[in-house]
A and B are shown apart, each in its own frame.
Chain A
Amino acid sequence: MRISFFCRAKFDFWKILKVTFGVNMLLVLSEEHKEHLNFLNKVDAAVVGEFGRIALEFLRRGISPKVYEGAARKLSVPVEAVRHGVEGLMYLMTQSSKHMLSEVDFVDSLLSLEFGDELNQSLLQMYQQHRGEIRSILSLVPSSLPAYHNLEWRLDVQLASRCLRQQVAPTLATRLHLTHGGARGSGAEQPSSRRVLHVDLATLLHLISILEGALAALKSTHTRRILRNVK
């Protein structure tokens, strides 16, 4: 691993942060993986492009074994070879996208496969074109906590109840909309759930002061230092 950022010895935490974001990484491919990918060397460029397209589709929508059978028949090769080729390609693409490999590192990782230049270039192009999309698919995988979507509120004044007449009691009725799953900011959030909550004014003031405290924490020097280094 080549470390290309100068690490300040002062804070171990910063060292870890800088090493994580500054390191140049190479993928180490297992022998089995290399064997599977070697199939790509034996077919021509059009087939490699087609395999790439299939691999992307499978990443988007899941694997469908029928496609393997069709391709195996067309190429007159065993189904297993096609399956290994496509899945090896899927794994190569997802691992490279996961680690945000630079172009140089991606090509370097392929060196151990001893592919020709043309094949390396077409794989690199495939990676560059689809890296962003693969990363957004990968971010959907872990199920996330319900997230804030919207808050509707209504100020009510309670005038009377079964037990007590002639009241003036203000309360806030709120409806909290939450979304489940899906990456933040993407359109892929699943249908939300809604909770109706009633808040009395004292609790409301307490809520406001807690949230303002959380916002103020964003402006603290500690947080600012972290954000500066992450960018």
Chain B
Amino acid sequence: MQWKVGLAVSSDTCRSLNSPFVTILLKIAEPSGQISQKAFEMTVPQFQNFHKQMKELAAVMETI
């Protein structure tokens, strides 16, 4: 998994955006054996939610 943090400065719809975001690139091994890449973007609140859920997941895994 790779990640990067960026700042969206402006766009064609909004000239002064200034919104931070996180991009995650996941390399997935498909059942067929091929490796595919999935990238997705999250805003800071979305990322914080993602982080919280991953932590919960990790906690559950520990109890198994």
A170, B8: Cα distance in complex, Å = 9
Stretch among A50-58, A71-79, A155-163, A180-188 lining the B interface: A155-163
Contact of A157 among B3, B6, B11 (CB under 8 A): B6
> Do residues A153 and B5 form an inter-chain contact, with CB atoms below 8 A?
no
Return A151 CB to nearest CB of chain B, in Å: 8
Residues of A within 8 A of B9 (CB): 155-157, 170
A160, B2: Cα distance in complex, Å = 11
Residues of A within 8 A of B17 (CB): 154
> Do residues A158 and B6 form an inter-chain contact, with CB atoms below 8 A?
yes
A156, B41: Cα distance in complex, Å = 12
> Do residues A156 and B8 form an inter-chain contact, with CB atoms below 8 A?
yes
B7 interface residue per 8 A CB criterion = yes
B46 interface residue per 8 A CB criterion = no
> What is the interface of chain B mostly: helix, strand, loop, or mixed?
strand
Residues of B within 8 A of A153 (CB): 11-12
Contact of A152 among B1, B4, B7, B12 (CB under 8 A): B12
> Do residues A154 and B10 form an inter-chain contact, with CB atoms below 8 A?
yes
Query: In chain B, what residue has the closest Cβ to A157?
Result: B7
User: B18-50 interface mask toward A, CB cutoff 8 Å, 1 = contact, 0 = none?
Assistant: 001100000000000000000000000000000
Interface size class of B (residues with CB under 8 A): 10 to 19
> Do residues B11 and A155 form an inter-chain contact, with CB atoms below 8 A?
yes
B13 interface residue per 8 A CB criterion = yes
Return B54 CB to nearest CB of chain A, in Å: 15
Residues of B within 8 A of A155 (CB): 8-11
> Do residues B2 and A156 form an inter-chain contact, with CB atoms below 8 A?
no
Query: In chain A, what residue has the closest Cβ to B17?
Result: A154
Q: With A154-B17, A156-B7 known to touch, is A161 a contact of B2 (CB < 8 Å)?
A: yes
> Do residues B6 and A156 form an inter-chain contact, with CB atoms below 8 A?
yes
Query: In chain A, what residue has the closest Cβ to B22?
Result: A160
Return A148 CB to nearest CB of chain B, in Å: 14
Query: In chain A, what residue has the closest Cβ to B25?
Result: A162
* B residues at A contact (CB < 8 Å): 1-13, 17, 20-21
Instruction: Show 11 residue pairs from A and B whose CB-CB distance is below 8 angstroms, ordered by the A residue.
Output: A151-B12, A155-B11, A156-B6, A156-B9, A157-B6, A157-B7, A159-B6, A160-B4, A160-B5, A162-B4, A163-B2
- Apart from A152-B13, A158-B6, A160-B4, list 4 A-B contacts with CB within 8 A: A154-B12, A155-B10, A157-B9, A171-B6
